[in-house]
């Protein structure tokens, strides 16, 4: 079998190419396919779907701590995917993975997530894509359950494909996987978001902080599923149109 007959998986994240999470994901992916890692050269958390238009991007060959080769890009997760697609890959990937993020991307966090945005960008460009996040910020967390969740959904996508415009968003607790459930994005928000302080020159400044608040109720919410100790898989879309509301609004002249 020639190398070109083997499947290719592109891997990105938002914690930077040196994070334990991306190594854990790459190691799972390597059991299924050839792997190409193209990821930010530094931490890019909470960048949402940012893209870099006012400064040029650089791409450098680097070695990960587990010895795997990677390309480090001085941009956001979405930049990495766009540049990979347009310039950095000799052949197109069969699947794009993003993660494993250190910290969950469930509920309202989805809209701030660089990890999810890399997967979404891949979906926009026509690739099947999966984002994977661990419900634990500690970089030493046991990612074996997240790895198992990723493996199961890689197999799912290779078997079933994904509908056009759909990205899979996986979250799982640290430790062994208790099980995996189909979920929806939980209605949630942050409260008391800023810690106001005075600097040594007596000028105010504000640190982002805030408590996560789950507003929705239901066993099939991503946040609730995590709280119950299970892994969650939410199919998400980048068509933001509220189609039902649009139907109602069309009755009203504007």
36-65 positions binding its own copies, by CB under 8 A: 43, 45-54, 56-59
User: Rounded to an integer, what distance in angstroms lies between the CA atom of residue 13 and that of residue 130?
Assistant: 11
What is the spatial distance between Cα 155 and Cα 142, in angstroms, rounded to a whole number? 22
| Structure-token match 């792997």, residue found | 35
Residue 2 beta carbon to its own copies: minimum distance, rounded to whole angstroms = 28
List the interface residues with its own copies, window 55-114 (CB under 8 A). 56-59, 78-79, 82-83, 85-87, 108, 110-112
Q: Judged by CB, which is closer to its own copies: 4, or 87?
A: 87
Binder to its own copies among 156, 174, 175, 229 (CB under 8 A)? 156
Asked if 252 interacts with its own copies (CB under 8 A), we say yes
Q: Shortest distance, CB of residue 226 to its own copies, whole angstroms?
A: 15
Smallest gap from residue 140 Cβ to its own copies (A): 21
Indicate whether 16 belongs to the interface with its own copies (CB under 8 A). no
User: How far does Cα 226 stand from its chain's mean position?
Assistant: 16
Task: Report the DSSP pairing between strands 59-63 and 69-73.
Answer: antiparallel
Q: How far is the CB of 139 from its own copies (least distance, A)?
A: 16
Residue nearer to its own copies on the CB measure, 119 or 143: 119
DSSP label at 185?
A: P
**Rounded Cα gap, residues 124 and 128, in angstroms:** 9
The DSSP 8-state label assigned to residue 144 in this structure reads H
160 counts as binding its own copies under rule CB under 8 A: yes
11 binds its own copies (CB under 8 A): no
Q: Does 250 bind its own copies (CB under 8 A)?
A: yes
Q: Among residue numbers 166 through 185, which ones bind its own copies (CB under 8 A)?
A: 166, 180-182, 184-185
Does the footprint of its own copies cover residue 124 (CB under 8 A)? yes
**182 SS3 class:** strand
32 touching its own copies, by CB under 8 A: no
Tokens representing 85 are: 């697609």
Cis before residue 100, ω within 30 degrees of 0?
yes
Distance of closest approach, residue 152 Cβ to its own copies, in angstroms: 6
Contact criterion met (CB below 8 Å) for 78 and 115: no
Angstrom distance (rounded) from CA 160 to CA 119 = 18
């Amino acid at each position: 079998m020639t190398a070109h007959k083997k499947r290719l998986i592109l891997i990105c994240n938002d914690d930077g190419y040196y994070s334990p999470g991306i190594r854990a994901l790459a190691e799972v992916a390597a059991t299924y396919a050839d792997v190409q890692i193209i990821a930010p050269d530094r931490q890019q958390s909470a960048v949402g779907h940012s893209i870099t238009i006012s400064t040029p991007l650089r791409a450098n060959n680097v070695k990960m701590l587990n010895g795997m080769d990677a390309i480090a890009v001085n941009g956001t997760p979405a930049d990495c995917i766009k540049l990979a697609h347009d310039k950095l890959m000799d052949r197109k990937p069969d699947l794009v993975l993003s993660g494993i993020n250190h910290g969950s991307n469930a509920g309202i966090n989805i809209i701030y997530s660089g990890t999810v945005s890399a997967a979404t960008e891949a979906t926009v460009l026509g690739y099947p894509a999966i984002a994977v996040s661990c419900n634990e910020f500690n970089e030493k967390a046991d990612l074996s359950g997240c790895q198992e969740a990723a493996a199961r959904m890689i197999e799912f996508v290779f078997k079933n494909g994904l509908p056009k415009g759909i990205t899979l968003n996986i979250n799982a607790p640290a430790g062994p996987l208790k099980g995996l459930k189909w979920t929806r994005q939980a209605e949630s928000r942050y409260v008391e978001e800023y810690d106001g302080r005075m600097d040594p020159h007596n000028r105010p400044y504000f640190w982002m902080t805030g408590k996560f608040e789950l507003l929705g109720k239901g066993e099939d919410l991503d946040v609730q599923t995590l709280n119950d100790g299970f892994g969650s898989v939410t199919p998400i879309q980048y068509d933001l149109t509220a189609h039902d509301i649009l139907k109602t609004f069309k009755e009203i002249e504007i």
